[in-house]
Amino acid sequence: MRSGPLDAETILTATEDVLRRHGPAKATVLDVARVLGVSHASVYRHFPSKAALREAVTRRWLGQARDPLAAVAADTRQAPPERLRTWFTTLFTTKRTLLSEDPELFATYRVLTAEHSSAAADHVAELIEQLRGIIADGVTSGDFASPDPTATARTVFAATMAYHHPAHAPEWQTPGAEAALRSICALLIDGLRPR
């Protein structure tokens, strides 16, 4: 039996351990309670169902990829075109690192993300909001022309899909993948310049 207070973060870390060792089929409330040496009631106190637990750990995983991006989006020392390029490169390298460090866990979270589509949709909405901020800053600075920064954010996000959608993960390790992403960014940034 473990000692000390049982908080949500501890439960989620144990859930990820279970996922890492046993894949997406495991990670029920009972599995996690067993690993922590606590009653399942004390897990239910934080997460009222298996679905809630799995959704919460999925949201934590997605947030992990999102936090370094928020820092880039807010870094007004970088001019908006350079910031847009850095943002996409950071998104790509962060996801590629998560994949290469633990391919099975990456695959497990891909299954969970498909199961919890509202977590995935919220994640994408937050990424689009970060991009919108960079594009709006570019409009203010005169670097970009965009009548609708949210729509433009969606367009540049869709145009870089091959470098962040997990369906394309098998190609991320190929030589030249990052250079190819940079070529797309360069073309998009040129396309955004006022004329």
**For 78, which DSSP code?**
S
CB of 163 to a second copy, least distance (A): 8
Q: Output 56 or 91, the one with its CB closest to a second copy.
A: 91
CB of 155 to a second copy, least distance (A): 4
The answer to whether 55 touches 147, Cβ cutoff 8 Å, is no
Q: Output 47 or 172, the one with its CB closest to a second copy.
A: 172
Q: Output 44 or 106, the one with its CB closest to a second copy.
A: 106
CB of 60 to a second copy, least distance (A): 25
Report which of 56, 51, 53 is spatially closest to residue 43, judged by C-alpha positions.
Answer: 53
Helix (H, G, I), strand (E, B) or coil at 172: coil
Which three-class secondary structure string do you get for the chain? CCCCCCCHHHHHHHHHHHHHHHCCCCCCHHHHHHHHCCCHHHHHCCCCCHHHHHHHHHHHHHHHHHHHHHHHHHCCCCCHHHHHHHHHHHHHHHHHHHHHHCHHHHHHHHHHHHHCHHHHHHHHHHHHHHHHHHHHHHHHHCCCCCCCHHHHHHHHHHHCHHHCCHHHHHHCCCCCHHHHHHHHHHHHHHHHCCC
Q: Output 51 or 186, the one with its CB closest to a second copy.
A: 186
Residues contributing to the site for a second copy (CB under 8 A): 151-152, 154-156, 158-162, 165, 167-168, 180, 183-184, 186-193, 195
CB of 36 to a second copy, least distance (A): 37
Q: Output 61 or 88, the one with its CB closest to a second copy.
A: 88
CB of 173 to a second copy, least distance (A): 16
Q: Output 22 or 165, the one with its CB closest to a second copy.
A: 165
CB of 78 to a second copy, least distance (A): 20
